[in-house]
Amino acid sequence: MWNESSTNFGGGFLDESTQGGTAKKSQDSDKSIAPVMIKHITSATGDGLQIAGKTVNTLTFVGVIRNIEQDTTKISFSIQDDTGTVTAVKWLEADKNPLESICTQINTYVRIYGLIRNQNNQQHVLIVRMFPLEDLNELTCHFMEVIYFILKAKKPAEESTLSNLPTTFDNTMSGMSSEQVAVLEVVRSANDSECGIEKRDILTRVPKHIIPRINEILEFLLCEGHIYTTSSEDFFKAT
């Protein structure tokens, strides 16, 4: 489902624990959280995940728990999305119940924040935080976060400073659903155009599952004052 030419990540995270604490730190390090698909993790090579020449320190991804293995020191989760499967590891704390504050149900959608690690030439993720999805609309939100993050990383630094777009899509923004936010961002992306964007062009840019509800979503955004019509009822701009 992903065009590898447009979502190609090279490298991986610099693991200071395996470099004797001497990993290079520079202005090229990106301290933001990088939303990725699992294939980006498993296809990374070397000691770090890099995006547009910048080393990313923390990543987040969404997937389904397919298998759980527990021993005395850690719990290993097999996490799957549409692009692949990766092992995510949670180290246990001696003074805490391993079942507390962690999702342990197979076939549950979860979001994971973590660090990429390489062992025996195989990538896995060290879990920093993990929790179940409360709304499957977060899947759509995550897909768009991945696309946006990659495109923004490829822009020159001077262009990035001029961008007013958020670094992530918040599906709770102004009480809107992730589908409504997705449509709003598509409209906003065409604000530089004199007449804005036509509805037929919006339909080509939004996820396919949104298309049947596009009229309802546009009507909502109009009523809430987030967008307005321009040259005709089929052309829109964001406020």
- pLDDT in the model for residue 94: 63
Task: Give 35 or 50, the one with higher predicted confidence.
Answer: 35
Note the pTM of the prediction, 2 decimals.
Answer: 0.52
What pLDDT, in 10s, does the model give residues 189-238?
Answer: 888 888 889 999 999 988 888 899 999 999 888 887 788 888 888 899 88
Give kind and range of the element (H or E) at residue 180: helix 178-188
Which tokens in the block code for residue 171? Answer: 């599906």
Going by their DSSP bridges, the two strands 235-238 and 122-132 should be labelled as unpaired
What are the structural domains of the chain?
Answer: 29-132 (2.40.50.140), 137-238 (1.10.10.10)
- pLDDT in the model for residue 52: 62
Q: Which of 86-100, 123-137, 140-154, 204-218 has the lowest mean pLDDT?
A: 86-100
pLDDT, mean of residues 51-65: 80
Q: Is 53 left (phi over 0), alpha (psi -120 to 50) or beta?
A: left
Burial of 173 (0-12, 13-18, 19+ CB in 10 A): middle
Give the closest residue to 183 by CA, choosing from 146, 227, 134.
227
**pLDDT at 42 exceeding the cut of 70:** yes
pLDDT, mean of residues 63-74: 90
Task: Give 100 or 70, the one with higher predicted confidence.
Answer: 70
Categorize the per-residue pLDDT at 62 as very low, low, confident or very high, splitting at 50, 70 and 90: very high
What share of the chain has pLDDT > 90, as a percent?
Answer: 16
Give kind and range of the element (H or E) at residue 75: strand 74-81
DSSP-based three-state secondary structure for 236: strand
Categorize the per-residue pLDDT at 152 as very low, low, confident or very high, splitting at 50, 70 and 90: confident
pLDDT, mean of residues 10-15: 36
CA-atom Rg of the chain in angstroms? 20
Are the beta carbons of 44 and 123 closer than 8 angstroms? yes
pLDDT, mean of residues 7-20: 36
Task: Give 25 or 226, the one with higher predicted confidence.
Answer: 226
